[in-house]
Amino acid sequence: YKALLATTTASAASRVTLAPLYVRPDGIPIASGATIASGSALESGIWQRANGTYVPATGDLVFTGAPSPSAAAPLLANSCNDWTSTAPLDSAYIGADTFADPTWWNLAANGDCTDTLAVYCLQQ
């Protein structure tokens, strides 16, 4: 697995080899690699973890680092200084894993780098 995270020098999509189709552990299709790269609406939300457990109904916030998976982080603060900082910065891009609309990737740019949030990972 590889984390789907943007930095200021690389988009999240450029860091992974995108598969034709991504499927949750329970067999439900999530989306094509092209859909994931664009940050578009998914066929189904990413509300199941790799170990087979499901996220709670309230969901998890997820660090992403950029406005879309195909974009690099516009500012260092948007990616918690390229994922090296746990300082109380509050402008990291975050998504929400209980949504299949584009907020799965970009809910807001107000994630605090001191928070413990989930990350999306893709099987390589």
Determine which helix (DSSP H) or strand (DSSP E) holds 30, and give its type and residue range. strand 29-31
Summarize pLDDT for 91-114 with one digit per residue, the tens: 999 999 999 999 999 999 999 999
Partners of 118 in the β-ladder: 62
Phi, psi (5° rounding) for residue 38?
Answer: -85, -20
pTM reported for the whole predicted model:
0.93
Burial class (CB in 10 A: 0-12, 13-18, 19+), 88: exposed
d(CA 33, CA 6): 16
Exposure on the CB side of residue 85, measured as CA atoms within 13 A: 18
Summarize pLDDT for 29-85 with one digit per residue, the tens: 999 999 999 999 999 999 999 899 999 988 899 999 999 999 999 999 999 999 999
Q: For the chain, give the percent of residues with pLDDT over 90.
A: 85
